[in-house]
Structure formats: structure tokens, C-alpha cells
Structure 1
Amino acid sequence: MATRDGEEGECLAQHVRPRIAGGLSVAAIAVAVLGACSVGPDFVRPTPPAGNDYTREQLSASTVAADNEAQSFTRGAEIPADWWTLFKSDQLNTIVQQALENNPTLAASEASLRASQDNLRAGYGVFFPQIGAEFDATRARSAPLRNGLQTPGSIFNLITASGSVSYLLDVFGGKRRTVEGLRAQADYQRYAEKAAYVTLSANVVNTTIARAAYAAELVATEQLIELEKQQLAATEAQVRSGTAAYANVLSVRSLIAGNQALIAPLQQKISQTEHLLATLEGLLPSEARLPEIDLSSLALPTDLPISLPSDLVRQRPDILSAEAALHIASANIGVATAAMFPSIALNGTYGAGGTSFGNLSADSFRFWSIGPSITLPLFQGGSLWYGRKAAIDAFQQAQANYRQTVLTAFAQVADALNALDHDAQALQAQVEARRDADIALHLLQLNYRAGMVRYLDVLVADVQFHQATIAYFQAVAQRYQDTVALFVALGGGWWNVQASVSKGDAP
């Protein structure tokens, strides 16, 4: 986007030769025609990127089936504003709802938005006449000697009441550009508030998933410990009967102790996720009462809407915030350019003064003035010139920031799409590994009781099954969280919140 240097001069040159008609003065005509001139560039929204793909490889219609579920992709479909309801968990919906209602960060973003909107309303005041009134009542003693008079001084009262009206002629559009910048600032805060909304909902869902996964790992570890205690009892019986060495008992006890050592770190992780959820909900950790959510109770969203790339730049709050910042920088160029041109205002004052309230109405005590004022910035030491250049540099910086934001957004969508495909492959491998480890452990336990295998083989199978179970839960949680990442990368569906509210489904 160019800054259109020299257009201001062209705008003036086009209007300095009007024909004088009807007795109008040159000044009046100049004011009328210059009102249509507005310095600085007119902002144009950046063009959306071309193409319909996020990745170099063509996006498949669905992922591979993992744990008996595949996720399909639908191009151009709408993302629901309450996308977390696709996990089909009433407990999860309750946690997200409370966070959206009570989170301090979101409340701060909403307050910042209201402040920017009020600043915009205040900025519109420059387009109206400024009317003021003044009343002064003083008692003073004169000193005629200061004026070269030899007369004695006197004490007197002076009462003045006056009203004034001023109107700034926005000939070169500086005030309009200022208000344009305030409007863009309000847009920036609006999209920042939407970004806080999307980020908060994603953090709540991801933390809830992590908490459920840690809880599942904890239960699996405790169940394994109980199984190992049963094996310990069987091993001790074999030692007493003389069919097994005492070293086998020590091995089982060591394995149990090692697994018991995993309990405390898992409990700590669960506590941390609960404290984080309490913070996101705007509560103290001691006040939070979080519902228990089992990982298996969460449903995997299988029909995933994929926005078109041309729509993504009009949906993601961070891209729209960067666009608003670009608009602010564009308007600031106009403000800095207008400061280099004359400032014209119309002023009027009417009032009365006297030594008492009674003579304020006398004609001899009344005063008034009316007329235009023009301020010409003849020499400012280069400050106005370089101020405008700095505004242009800031605009170019905002352009680069906008482009970087778009590139980052597209990369995040591509990462999420690839991750879901890889998650499905990894999860299916973990499903098979866990199934095989479970069968192997069961067979070895039977053979060990029959005295056909060494207990070392059973211990190895125990460890393999436990590791496969933990890896399975982690793969499930990763698939859920990457699904959340896709919804967030596509913008979070905040633009559909109004339609959802009308149906009574969204917060």
C-alpha cells in the first residue's frame, strides 16, 4: 500500500482556479472545496492469499481409523462457536461456561474494548462546534503607576460573563483521520477480546483433557500395583513351598515400589491442572469444585469443518487484530500529514462585564468578537516532516507484522491437519501394542503359575503392559488436544456466537 506522496499538492492545485460567482469570496470557495480533500492514504484491506490448500500435500477426506474412529474433513463448513460441545460432555461444558463468565483476563479484555469504544465516541466530538461559558468575579486594586500614570490606585470589582463558540474546519482531514484511527483502535480491541475468548476456551478444554488423561494414568498405575501385589502373594507362596527363589520376591517388591513412586508425580500433575482450571474459572484453588471427567467419557469430534484459506484471514482474531493495527498506522500517516498543513478555525465570543451584577445588562459593558483563525506551521525544525516519515515507517512495520501473522496462522492450520492424521496412525499403533501386551501378560501369568516360565518373564510383561497402557492414554489425549488446536487455528468460530445464542446453545 503506497502513502500517495504529493496527492495533497494535487488536491490543492485542482481547486485554486475556480470561477468566482454569486459574490462568494475566494476563501469561502476554497474552504468548501478543500473539505473534500483528505490527506494520507485511504486504507484498503489486504488481499486474502490465493489458493485453497494449507499443506503441500493434498488434504485427504479423512484420517485413518484409530481405536475404531476416523475423523473426516469438510471444506468450507462453519465452525460452531461452542465447538467444545462436540466432545459431548456436560461436565466439560459446565467448566467452560463458568470460565467464560468469571475469567478476569476475559473481563479485562471486555473492559478494554468498552474503553476504546468510548474513546471513539469521544473522538467524534471534533466534528461539532465547541461551546463554552465562563463566569469570573474578582476584586482587585489597580496600580496606575505601572501604566505611567501618577494618579492614586483604586479598589474595584470586576464581574465578567461570556460565552464562546469555536469550530475547527477539518480542511485537510486530519481530524477525520484521527477518528478513523480511533475506530481502527476499537476494532483492534474487539478482536483482541475475541482472541482472549478463543484462547480461554481452548486452555480450559486442553487442561480438562490433560487432567482426565493424568487421572486415567493414575488409575492404570494403581490397578497394575494391585495386580503386582497379587503376584507378590503368589511368589511368596512359591518360596515357602520351595519352588521359587527368594530373589523373585525381592524383584516383585522392587517393581511394586517403583510403580508406587509414579503415584505422587501423577497426583501432582492432577493438582496442577485443577489449580489451573480454578484460575481460568476466576476462583481460588481452595474454592474450586471441579466435576470428575473420565477420559473415556469424552467423545472424539469426527466431522471437522475446514475453513477456506480466503475465509481464514477474515476469521482469526489475531489476523484481524493485525489488520486493525495496520489500519491504525495508515490513519496515523494522514494525521501526521495534516499537521504539515494550515489549521483553520472559526471563533466567536460574546459577553458582558461590569463592576456589579446590575450593570452586566448595559450595552456599554458588552463585548463580542467573531472571525476565523489560521495557524501556519512555517518552520518546526523538521519535526513535522520526520514525524510523517516515522508514521510511514510504522505503517511498513505493521504491514510486515500482518504478513507474519498470516504466515504463522496458515502454518498452525497445516500443523494441526497433519497432526490429526499422524495422531490417528500413532493411536492405532498404541491400541495394537496395548492389546498384544495385555494378551502376552495374561498368558505368561498362566504359564508362571504352572511353573513353565521364569518370573523374570512375567516382570518384563508387566512393565510392557503398563508402558503400553500409559502410552495409549497419552495418544488419546494428544488426539483430543490436536483436535482442539485445529478449532483454534481456524479461528474458534467466535463469529457464529450470535447465531448460537439465539438458539440457546452457546455462552
Structure 2
Amino acid sequence: MKILYATTLALALAACAPAPVRQPPAVPLADSFRDIPAGWADATASAPQLPADWWHLYQDPQLNTLEQQLIANSPDLGSALARYRQAQAATGVARAAQAPTLGASLNGQRDRQSDLRPLRGATSPAEYNSGTLQFDLGYEVDLWGRIAQQVSAGVAQEQAAGADLAAARLALQIQLADTLLALRGADADLQLLRDTEAAYRRQAELITRRHDGGTASGLDLARAETQLESTRSLLRQRQAQRSVQEHAIAALVGANAASFSIAPNDGGAFVTPVLPLGVPSQLLQRRPDIAAAALRVAAASDQLGVARSALFPSLILGASGGVQSSDFDRFARASNLFWAVGPTLAVNLLDGGRRKAQIAGAEASLDEAGQRYRAVVLTAFQQVEDQLTLLDNYAEAAKSDHLAAAAAKRALELATQRYDQGAASYLDVVTAQTAYLQSRRSELDLTTRYRQAGVQLVKAIGGGWNGG
């Protein structure tokens, strides 16, 4: 009979043992990335991780300084760090359930009994003192692994919060670099517009003299003034955009926009390095958001185990003891000691289906976490391919833009020469001026977008996160 009882108990414990943590769902992987820019063949090998201070690859001292200011002063990064500390504290709370609890209470009072109290003894005084010093010790035996799974879920959530912190840090660093590149693009555009405005002003002054001398028409003068004022308008608009970008950088690095400024720089020295892409499977270990999603699948799996363990009884080992007396003067005497010790086995026999509903909810949460993981991974691959496509096509487009700008410059020179010779109208000059300015601005804009795509690729491959 004893052997049968032991066997039955062992089988019951085995049946109620915690289920293994479910792994994230599989996501189809390609053998390699597709639209790799020319000259980036070596980047597809087993690539090393980017350094934590990846922005040094861009060889820009101002970017280095701003990134350090962001790390030290960013309020958004500070709030992300606070969320991580909250997750750490929550894990500490979960771990505390694995340890015994000890409580103490001290009570002293003057009591009066009702004269008609049921079962009151004939010699029982109407008024008396009551003093109690009591200690309570409790420990829940984790028969079904419920507490262990709660701790495991808490640890996974804490690690996910750490990965969230890394993702937030990387996103802010990328946003800073991207905005600085946009500002550098604005500086280059502003310099072009200033040079163009100066050239148009000289041209308008020349046309004015010719008009006053009777060799240029009022239509030519009106067209020249239109070009000049339109360019001045573009100059002011671009300056406003540049100021807004400067304010955005101030907010990112935790500075007051009213006292923050960045000296103009056309960004000519900014480089776009070849980044270590690796193969698609490496991306799963290189991005903090993917790691966070996988850890939340593990946490949801543990929470499902916690919900299932609620179907089984809980065993609590308890003990209490202390001193109790009605005489405060003789309170601390050995004869006033009391104690009690013994286990408590508790089981919920009827709950209206609450535990089954909790299990169903936990299963749905696990499914949701798995689908979120799939979405994060698929989005990660999309982002890498997006930036590779942009880099590849922007590089080719830049060649065409450069040739177009050169051709537009020649057209402007020829139109101006023909106008001076009286062989063309000033409308030809204005048309050529407009085309040249547009082609140069397009060339500068494409350069900025190419550089921004390179920075966004850093984010897409996980930056310098190493899983720590």
C-alpha cells in the first residue's frame, strides 16, 4: 500500500510539473540579403558586431560630441532607464516569494466585556488588560513550480526591459545622427541658395542697367527680379527648416533650444562606411527588439504555467508564537509563552470557471507574444532590405544627378552667352537658371538621403548591441 501511494504521488507530481518554456515561432530566413550595394560583398560574410560607439565610424567630431551628450542628458533615455529599473524591482518582488516570511505584531489594550456576552464565565472580569507579542513564520512549498515560474517570467520580463532600453538608446542615437545629417544637408542647400541669390542679384543689377540704357526690356527685368525674389524666399524657408532641425537636436541631447546652436557645416567630410551586414540569421541575435520579443514569449509561456498551477493545491508551512498576558507588569514571563506550528493545504474546489478562464487568457497572451515576435523579425528583415535598396539605388541615382547638374550648368552658360550676343531671349536664361538650381538641389538632397540611409541601416542591423 505504501509503495502504491508513493507511486501515485510521484505520477501526480510528474503530471503537474512545469511545462517547458515555449520557444518563439519559426520565421522563414533567406540565405543572404538581396539588394546589397556594389562594393559591399565582404559585408555579407560572418560579420563582427558594430562597436558600441558605432558613430565613430563616420569620422565626425561633432557627431561624436552630440552622441555623448545624448547618452548623458537625454530625458527620453532617462525615462527608458527608469522603466528598466521598474522591471528589475518587479523581479525582486517575484523572487521574494521564494523565501520564508516572518512578521511580528505587538498589541496592548484595555478591554471591557458585555454583561450579556454569550458563554461569559461567572468569574470573568468585566474589564481587563490584554497584551500580545506575536511572531508569524510562513513558507509556501512550491509543489507545482508556480513560484519558480513566476520568478522565471519576471526574469524574462526584466531582460526584455533591458533589451528595450538598448533599443530605445539605439533609436535615439540614430535619430540624432539622422537629424544632424538633415541639418548638414540644409547647410549645403543654404550655401547653394546664398550663392545663387548673389548671382541672381548681380544678374538683376545688370539687367536693370541695361533696361535703363534701353537695351533690355521691362519683361527681362521682371523675370530677373522674379528669379531673385523667389530664391530669397527659398533661402528663408530653408533657414526655417534648419532652425527646426537644430531645435530637435537640442531636445534630443537634453539642452534648451533657446541657448543651443550648431555651427553651419555643409557635411562634406561625412563618410558612409561599409557596414558588416552578415547573413540574415545573424540578425536574430543582433537586434535588441528581436531579443525583447523572444523574451516576452518566454515570459508568457511561464505565465501560462503559473495559471495552470492554480488548479492544484498549495502547501504552506506555518508557525506562530509569542507572549500573551493580561498583566503588563509580568508580561515577559516564560509562563506567558504560546506557540502553534503546522502545515496548511489549501485548494479551491469551486470558482465558477475562473481558473480555466485565466488559463485561456494566458494561452491567448502566449499566442499574441508569438505573433508579435514574428512581426518584429519580419519588420527587421524589411528594414534591412529597405536601406540596402535605398543605398544601392541612390548610389546609381547620384551618378545621374551629377551628370544632370553638369549638363544644366553647361545649358546655363550657353543660354547666358547667347543672350549676351542677342541670339536668345532672357526667358532662355531664366529657364536654364531654374533647371540648374533644381538639379543642384536635387543632387545635394540625394547625397543627404544616401547618408541617412546608411545611418538607418545601422539601426536595422542592431547597432552596437551585444546582447548584454
Q: Same fold per TM (> 0.5)?
A: yes
The alpha-carbon distance between structure 1 residues 61 and 260, as it changes in their structure 2 partners (threshold 3 A), is: closer
Match of 2:45 among 69, 75, 79: 75
1:270 corresponds to 2:253: no
C-alpha separation between the residues in 2 aligned to 1:127 and 1:233? 87
Distance 2:15 2:336 in 1: 42
Counterpart position of 1:184: 156
In structure 1, the residue matched to 2:340 is: 369
Deviates more, 1:86-95 or 1:31-40: 31-40
Cα displacement string for residues 297-335 of structure 1 (whole angstroms, at most 9, x for unaligned residues):
31222x221032212112212211211221121111011
Alignment check: 8 A CA contact 1:48 1:313 kept: no
Instruction: Name 1:445's counterpart in structure 2.
Output: 416
- Give 1:202 shift: 0.7
Partners of 1:479 and 1:181 lie apart in 2 by 43
Instruction: State the AA in 2 paired with 1:191.
Output: A
- Code of the residue aligned with 1:297 in structure 2: it is A
The DSSP-based 3-state class of the residue aligned with 1:327 is helix
The 8 Å contact of residues 100 and 200 in structure 1, kept in 2 or not, is answered as no
Instruction: Provide the residue aligned with 1:10 in structure 2.
Output: none
Q: Do residues 233 (structure 1) and 212 (structure 2) align? A: no
Between 1:291-300 and 1:172-181, the stretch displaced more is: 291-300
Structure 2 counterpart SS, 1:289: coil
Question: In structure 2, which of residues 11, 32, 47 is the aligned counterpart of residue 53 of structure 1?
Answer: 32
| Selected match of 1:307 from 278, 283, 305 | 278
The percent of aligned pairs where both chains have the same amino acid is 28
From the superposition, tell whether residues 110 and 37 of structure 1 become closer, same or farther in structure 2 (CA, over 3 Å).
Answer: same
Aligned to 2:21: 42
Which runs of 5 or more residues in structure 2 are unaligned?
Answer: none
Aligned-partner residue type, residue 18 of structure 1? A
**SS class of match (1:261):** helix
Distance 1:245 1:90 in 2: 53
Q: Does the residue aligned with 1:306 lie in a helix, a strand or coil?
A: coil
Match of 1:62 in 2: 39
- C-alpha distance in 2, partners of 1:162/1:150? 26
Paired residue secondary structure (2:276)? strand
In the alignment, which of 447, 462, 487 is matched to residue 433 of structure 2? 462
Partner of 1:354: 325
Q: Distance in 2 between matches of 1:74 and 1:340?
A: 51
Partner residue, 1:298: 270
Q: Secondary structure at the match of 1:286?
A: helix
Q: Give ranges in structure 1 of 5+ residues lacking alignment.
A: 1-14, 20-25, 64-70, 499-507
- The residue that corresponds to 1:260 in the other structure is 232
* 1:108-147 residue CA offsets vs partner (Å, 9 max, x unmatched): 1111111211221232121211112221111111225212
Structure 2 matches for 1:194-205, cutoff 5 A?
194-205=166-177
Give the corresponding residue for 1:206: 178
Among 120, 125, 133, the residue aligned to 2:104: 133
1:187 Cα offset (Å): 1.2
Quickly say closer, same or farther: Cα 1:72–1:277, change in 2 above 3 A.
farther
**Paired residues of 1:40 and 1:333 also in contact (CA < 8 A):** no
Q: What is aligned with 1:18?
A: 6
Flag the 1:143–1:325 CA change in 2: closer, same or farther, 3 A.
same
Question: Aligned-pair distance for 1:60?
Answer: 5.7
- Separation of aligned partners in 1, 2:272 and 2:134: 74
The reply on whether 1:168 has 2:145 as its aligned counterpart is no
How many pairs align? 464
Q: Contact conserved, 1:427 with 1:475, CA < 8 A, in 2?
A: yes
Give the conservation status (yes or no) of the 8 Å contact 1:423–1:475: yes
Q: For residues 32 and 284 of structure 1, do their structure 2 counterparts lie closer, same or farther at Cα, with a shift above 3 Å needed?
A: farther
Task: Tell me the CA shift for residue 214 of structure 1.
Answer: 1.4
Q: Is the 8 A contact 2:25 2:373 kept in 1?
A: no
* 2:25–2:370 CA contact under 8 A, matched in 1: no
Q: TM-score, normalized by length of structure 2? A: 0.92
CA displacement, residues 389-410 of structure 1 (integer Å, 9 cap, x when unaligned): 1111111111111111111111
Alignment equivalent of 1:430, drawn from 401, 412, 419: 401
Given that residues 16 and 309 in structure 2 are in contact (C-alpha distance below 8 angstroms), is that contact kept between their aligned partners in structure 1? no
When structure 1 is superposed on structure 2, of 472-481 and 46-55 the one drifting more is 46-55
Q: Compute the displacement of 1:36 (Å).
A: 10
Distance in 2, Cα, partners of 1:150 & 1:91: 89
Change in 2 beyond 3 A, CA 1:36/1:127: farther
Normalization by structure 1: what TM-score?
Answer: 0.86
Q: 2:161 aligns to what SS in structure 1? A: helix
Q: Give, as a single letter, the amino acid of the residue that structure 2 aligns with 1:266.
A: R
In structure 2, C-alpha distance between the alignment counterparts of 1:72 and 1:237, rounded to whole Å: 61
User: Are the aligned partners of 1:351 and 1:367 in contact in 2 as well (CA < 8 Å)?
Assistant: yes
Pick aligned residue for 2:258 from 272, 280, 286: 286
Q: 1:61 to 1:116 in 2, by over 3 A?
A: same
Aligned counterparts of 2:261 and 2:429: Cα–Cα separation in 1: 42
Among residues 373, 382, 385, which one is paired with 1:402 in the alignment? 373
CA contact (8 A) 1:126 1:175 kept: yes
Contact 2:24/2:297, CA 8 A, preserved across alignment: no
> Aligned partners of 1:345, 1:283: CA distance in 2, in Å?
55
